[in-house]
Amino acid sequence: MTDVLHPVHVGDAAHDDHAEHHGPTGILKWLTSTDHKVIGLSYTVTAVVMLVIGGLFAEIIRGQLASANGTLVSFAQYNELFTMHGSVMIYLFAGPFAFGALANIIVPIQIGAPDMAFPRLNALSYWLYLTGSITMLSGFFTAGGAANFGWVGYAPLSNSLNAPGAGADLWIGGLLLTGFSAIFTGVNLTATIFYLRAPGMTMFRMPIFTWNLLVTAILILLAFPVLTAGLIMLYADRHFGTHIFTVAGGGVPVLWQHIFWFWGHPEVYILALPFFGMVTEIIAVFSRKPVFGYKGMIFATLSIAALSLGVWAHHMFTTGVVLLPFFSIMSLLIAVPTGIKMFNWIGTMWRGQIWFSTAMLMAVGFVFTFLVGGITGIYLASPPLDFFTHDTYFVVAHFHSVVMALVLAGMAGLYYWGPKITGYLLNETLGKIQFWFLFIGTQVFTFPMYILGLQGMPRRMAVYPNDPQWVHLNQIASLGAVLIGVSTLLFVVNLIYSWKKYPAGDNPWDAHTLEWFTTSPPPHHNFYRLPQIRSERPTWDHNHPEHRALHHGEHETTHA
């Protein structure tokens, strides 16, 4: 197969690399760079730090709950910890890691672009995210402590009467900053994917990961402005007497729930879709097969995004102000395209020559764990069952099954794309040990909480009745949290142990997509040349001309 030059000529790319080499180095490079790879690495490091911080909060919470009348922290400290644990994990880790870290690094390379469409806006997005993270966490250093009203910020718990401290304002301010960061990232990803694709890469030749990030970016642009408006209204209630959510002034507290969950349920898929894309790429590569049902995966993703905008009120079944049949049916319908993805992942693995690398183990662990979270979500879509389990540990367990599945997928992405980003492999033995600690720990952590929820244990409580069965189940869940903590420590150990020890080469996995055609790590403008793009697997087509793909648009002549 004949290679074609990148739209940026080789000489220009070499000149840019020479300029980059003689540009800022060290800390100044990290502070001033607009290179998407440097910004993506900054996102990655910051997000992993947030994962560790949020994980430490979780370990303290589970330490408190290991006994019925725990005294590890006070009630006030417990409220701050569970508020900030959820806030850190959702706002500061999962989202930024999904659409800020790996997306920033991988998407431009996957589509043959030299950088993001708006490099300076990309840098601004990261600095807003970092500033917002510091702002939110700085509440711990104020006289009144951090925000203490739960990560969902429900009014009236978050008004100035019930949460008068500066920590609540810092929570609002930090979330506003990270929200603007997400919106700018959504604009950047959308423009990059639509306008900077390489010659020959039609829409239906894009990798699934890039497709999922495009849909995620559109969801961000639809959902995050709503949350931003709600946060401004909440701040105005607290400081300007607007009474939007205050009953005494004629406001409606439930309006905050509508605003928050109109953002919050699309947000679940804003978090999940990038990880779905990661897992799809990884399962295909390590099964030595193309993605099963490529177009079906794309249309399932589009269906999930569309349906996610119409299910927010299933979080509000017990308020009595929503139409139960409509939101129940919509919530059940969203399981259909998600189920299609499940069948496609299994179909991709079916009769494949599976290589159980660490990345593949993490991906398979994701499929199982997300299946558990998805099935329990179907239960919660039924109003009678939701009434029974509302605000119990069943909901906590369901949510953590979903989120821990995303952690498994994120780890899969780091082990898979880490060699492309750094040029070096992580130790596979340590990685597989980490996987078993993480996977087993997740199940040990979540399954007791399902039982506790069905037995009526309420969430958000620092103490609970001294029932022996509840104590034992909570202790098992706390043991699972410890195993998850050990897995995180093993990952850090692996990073240190493997530092520049195992050179990866350009394509250690014999992977399919365009990012594996360039060097590891890529040059400043990513490519010196590009292969002909005749399918969604251009690198595989180039490296295996005897098996050149004839599917998914091989003979298409119309460029999207």
Report if residue 549 sits inside a domain: no
Report if residue 419 sits inside a domain: yes
CA 149 → CA 256, 513, 521, distances in Å? Answer: 13, 45, 44
Please give the share of the chain, as a percent, with pLDDT higher than 90: 88
* Residues sharing a CB contact under 8 Å with residue 356, sequence separation 6 or more, in sequence order: 286, 364
Band of residue 374 on the pLDDT scale cut at 50, 70, 90: very high
Band of residue 548 on the pLDDT scale cut at 50, 70, 90: low
Q: pTM higher than 0.85, yes or no?
A: yes
Rounded distance, CA 335 to CA 381, Å? 10
**How many residues in total does the chain contain?**
560
Eight-class DSSP state of 47: H
467-492 average pLDDT score:
97
CATH for 334: 1.20.210.10
318-327 average pLDDT score:
95
Ranges of beta strands (E only) in 334-416 are none
Rounded distance, CA 372 to CA 408, Å? 14
Rounded distance, CA 73 to CA 148, Å? 14
> Quick count: other Cβ atoms within 10 Å of Cβ 353?
8
Q: Is 555 exposed, middle or buried (0-12, 13-18, 19+ CB in 10 A)?
A: exposed
> Quick count: other Cβ atoms within 10 Å of Cβ 414?
24
CA dihedral 178, 184, 186, 188 (to 10 degrees): -140
214-224 average pLDDT score:
98
Rounded distance, CA 317 to CA 18, Å? 60
Report if residue 554 sits inside a domain: no
Note the pLDDT tens digit of each residue in 33-82: 999 999 999 999 999 999 999 999 999 999 999 999 999 999 999 999 99
Band of residue 259 on the pLDDT scale cut at 50, 70, 90: very high
Mean pLDDT for the chain overall: 92
Residue range of the domain that includes 149: 39-542
82-90 average pLDDT score:
97
Report if residue 15 sits inside a domain: no
The phi and psi torsions of 161 (rounded to 5 degrees) equal: -75, -45
Report if residue 525 sits inside a domain: yes
Report if residue 560 sits inside a domain: no
The residue among 89, 87, 97 whose CA lies nearest residue 175 is 87
Rounded distance, CA 116 to CA 190, Å? 10
Total tally of structural domains belonging to the chain: 1
Rounded distance, CA 207 to CA 222, Å? 23
Report if residue 480 sits inside a domain: yes
- Report the run of H or E that residue 58 belongs to, with start and end: helix 36-65
The reported pLDDT for the residue numbered 18 is 42
CA 141 → CA 30, 111, 138, distances in Å? Answer: 27, 44, 6
The residue among 341, 335, 349 whose CA lies nearest residue 300 is 341
The reported pLDDT for the residue numbered 2 is 39
Band of residue 29 on the pLDDT scale cut at 50, 70, 90: confident
Q: Which residues lie across from 4 on neighbouring strands?
A: 530
Rounded distance, CA 536 to CA 512, Å? 8
97, 43 Cβ separation under 8 angstroms: yes
Note the pLDDT tens digit of each residue in 460-473: 999 999 999 999 99
326, 269 Cβ separation under 8 angstroms: no
- Helices (H) and strands (E) counted in the chain, each on its own, are 19, 2
Report if residue 24 sits inside a domain: no
